[in-house]
């Protein structure tokens, strides 16, 4: 806890990712400057927690499955409690490439942003072309959040983010529990956080299964729409230190 | 007019509801705060069942002329909706509290492991000399 004010914590939510988590933790440990790696195990039924611990990560084990948002928030609460000034969040399946982290951290190091989102859509000439339905969904969410949050955003579905202390404080206290990314972006904007987006490449997932199915994506869309609507009617206290 | 049998059944049913709720509270199987809405439901239905003139008057206000006990059903349905809505808010709060507890457990367990590791290392590096 002594030097954690200078260090960066990497929060990695993981559910049944024993095939990918070891390599990801190793890659994060190679990062310069050194990162503290915290894997939040959302009550996996496989050996995710053991593999992560064997590779030297700090493991936070949830006693039952709370969903991605609750898992991520556990990591941010850890960061808050231990006094970290910076945090990054990467998915446990390995699709977020640690080599892209310098891009995410740069605006925070410069003091230009409280929240940086790594997106595949910032650069219009980017190579990523998702299926039409997905692209449409992402664009509609982005428009909505831009409208309700008062700042143009291009991709609010990305979970590849970096935070400064203000961001850590906000998300440790307030983070949606399921399908959290879109709403979290709006909450950040409405709480006065400075948001930057940077273009990143993402990898294809190598093992495990994506959690998105057809019925779930319908639920996802409806749930997120409702959350955005309600979040825009709610009042969020502006955070001390947030200077947007 | 309300048939006398409908009134009797209404009285017995709502009295039974009140008694069951009271018994559950007495046996500590139902908390007072969650019993209140049920008791209110029972009380309102009891009053409307017993007070036949009142039920008829309310029914005619509402334009229900053919069968006044229909108002009983409407009121009962309304109260059941209220109870369900109340429970939805209770479940939501419990969900949030549950997640909060799970997160605290995860954080505390990690902290405990770290402390145990620390103590273990210290015990190894400076063995306690027995007097």
Give me the CATH number covering residue A163.
Answer: 3.90.550.10
Give a yes or no: residue A244 inside a domain.
Answer: no
Give a yes or no: residue A238 inside a domain.
Answer: no
Q: Which residues of B78-87 are buried (b: 16+ CB within 10 A; e: fewer)?
A: ebeeeeeeee
Residues of B in contact with A59 (CB under 8 A): 110
**Block residue for tokens 């404080």:** A169
Give a yes or no: residue A3 inside a domain.
Answer: no
What would the two tokens of residue A122 be?
């910032």
Indicate the residue of B95, B99, B110 with minimum beta-carbon distance to A60.
B110
Domain assignment of residue A104, given as a range: 8-233
Interface test with B, best of A74, A79, A174, A223 (most B CBs within 10 A): A74
Residues of B in contact with A77 (CB under 8 A): 103, 107
Q: Do B103 and A61 touch (CB under 8 A)?
A: no
pLDDT at A207: 56
DSSP state of A23: H
Residues of A in contact with B109 (CB under 8 A): 60-61
Mean pLDDT of A62-71: 95
B110 at interface of A, judged by CB pairs closer than 8 A: yes
Give the count of domains, chain A.
1
Using one digit for the tens of pLDDT, what is the confidence trace for A77-115? 999 999 999 999 999 998 999 999 999 999 999 999 999
Q: What is the pTM (predicted TM-score) of this model?
A: 0.86
Residues of B in contact with A81 (CB under 8 A): 107
pLDDT at A75: 98
Dihedrals φ, ψ of A21, to 5°? -70, -35
pLDDT at A2: 46
Give a yes or no: residue A1 inside a domain.
Answer: no
Measured at the alpha carbon of residue A81, what is the angle toward residues A77 and A87, in degrees to the nearest 5? 60
Interface test with B, best of A11, A39, A78 (most B CBs within 10 A): A78
DSSP state of A202: B
Please state, in angstroms and rounded to a whole number, the distance separating the CA atoms of residues A4 and A80: 11
Q: What is the ipTM of this complex?
A: 0.87
Residue A215 banded pLDDT, cuts 50, 70, 90: confident
Greater model confidence, B106 or A213: B106
Cβ–Cβ < 8 Å for A86, A108: yes
What ranges do the domains of chain B cover? Answer: 4-123
Mean pLDDT of A164-172: 96
Please state, in angstroms and rounded to a whole number, the distance separating the CA atoms of residues B6 and A235: 50
Q: Which of residues 1-60 of A touch B (CB under 8 A)?
A: 40, 58-60
Using one digit for the tens of pLDDT, what is the confidence trace for B15-57? 999 999 999 999 999 999 999 999 999 999 999 999 988 898 9
Separation of CA A30 from chain center = 20
Mean pLDDT of A133-147: 86
Measured at the alpha carbon of residue A30, what is the angle toward residues A29 and A32, in degrees to the nearest 5? 105
Task: For residue A64, count CB atoms less than 10 angstroms from its CB and return exposed for 0-12, middle for 13-18, buried for 19 or more.
Answer: exposed
Mean pLDDT of A65-76: 96
Mean pLDDT of A146-157: 89
For B12-32, the DSSP string reads HHHHHHHHHHHHHHHTTSS-H
Interface test with A, best of B93, B95, B99 (most A CBs within 10 A): B99
Indicate the residue of A58, A61, A66 with minimum beta-carbon distance to B99.
A66
Give a yes or no: residue A211 inside a domain.
Answer: yes
Chain A nearest C-alpha distance from B99 (Å): 6
Cβ–Cβ < 8 Å for A33, A3: no
Q: What percent of chain A has pLDDT over 90?
A: 62
Dihedrals φ, ψ of A191, to 5°? -90, 0
Cβ–Cβ < 8 Å for A10, A35: yes
- No. of H helices and E strands in chain B? 4, 0
Q: Do B105 and A81 touch (CB under 8 A)?
A: no
Cα–Cα distances in angstroms (integers) from residue B70 to residues A129, B17, B52, B56, in the given order: 59, 19, 13, 10
Residues 6+ apart with CB under 8 A from B63: none
B112 at interface of A, judged by CB pairs closer than 8 A: no
Q: Three-state DSSP class for A195?
A: strand
Q: Three-state DSSP class for A10?
A: strand
Q: What percent of chain A has pLDDT over 70?
A: 89
Residues of B in contact with A78 (CB under 8 A): 107, 110
Ramachandran quadrant class, B32 (left: phi over 0; alpha: psi -120 to 50; beta: rest): alpha
Please state, in angstroms and rounded to a whole number, the distance separating the CA atoms of residues A165 and A171: 10
Residues 6+ apart with CB under 8 A from A105: A8, A86, A88, A116, A162
Using one digit for the tens of pLDDT, what is the confidence trace for A124-135? 666 666 777 777
Residue A183 banded pLDDT, cuts 50, 70, 90: very high
Q: Do A66 and B103 touch (CB under 8 A)?
A: yes
Chain B nearest C-alpha distance from A224 (Å): 17
Q: Kindly tell me if the per-residue pLDDT of A200 is higher than 80.
A: yes
């Amino acid at each position: 806890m002594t030097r954690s004010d200078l260090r960066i914590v990497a929060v990695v939510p993981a559910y049944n990712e024993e095939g990918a988590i070891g390599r990801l933790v190793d890659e994060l440990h190679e990062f310069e400057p050194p990162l503290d790696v915290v894997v939040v195990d959302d009550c996996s039924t496989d050996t995710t927690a053991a593999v992560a611990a064997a590779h030297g990560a700090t493991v936070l084990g949830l006693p039952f499955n709370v969903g991605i948002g609750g898992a991520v928030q556990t990591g941010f609460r850890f960061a808050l409690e231990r006094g970290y000034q910076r945090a990054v969040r990467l998915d446990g399946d390995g699709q977020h490439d640690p080599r892209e982290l310098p891009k995410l951290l740069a605006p925070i190091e410069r003091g230009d942003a409280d929240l940086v989102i790594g997106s595949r859509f910032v650069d219009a000439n980017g190579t990523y072309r998702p299926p039409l339905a997905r692209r449409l969904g992402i664009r509609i969410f982005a428009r909505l959040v831009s409208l309700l949050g008062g700042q143009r955003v291009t991709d609010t579905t990305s979970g590849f983010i970096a935070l400064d202390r203000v961001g850590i404080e906000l998300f440790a206290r307030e983070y949606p529990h399921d399908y959290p990314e879109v709403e979290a972006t709006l909450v950040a904007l409405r709480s006065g956080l400075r948001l930057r987006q940077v273009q990143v490449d993402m990898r294809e997932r190598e093992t495990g299964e994506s959690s998105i199915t057809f019925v779930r994506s319908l639920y996802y869309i409806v749930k997120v729409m409702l959350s955005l609507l309600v979040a825009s009617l709610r009042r969020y206290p502006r955070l001390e230190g947030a200077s947007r | 007019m309300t048939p006398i049998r409908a009134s009797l059944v209404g009285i017995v049913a709502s009295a039974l509801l009140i008694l069951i709720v009271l018994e559950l509270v007495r046996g500590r199987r139902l908390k007072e705060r969650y019993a209140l809405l049920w008791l209110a439901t029972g009380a309102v239905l009891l009053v409307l069942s017993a007070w036949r003139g009142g039920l008829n008057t309310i029914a005619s206000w509402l334009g229900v002329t053919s069968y006044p006990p229909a108002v009983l059903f409407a009121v009962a349905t309304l109260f059941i909706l209220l109870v369900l809505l109340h429970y939805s808010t209770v479940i939501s709060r419990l969900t949030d509290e549950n997640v909060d507890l799970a997160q605290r457990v995860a954080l505390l367990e990690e902290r405990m492991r770290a402390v145990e590791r620390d103590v273990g290392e210290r015990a190894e590096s400076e063995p306690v000399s027995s007097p």
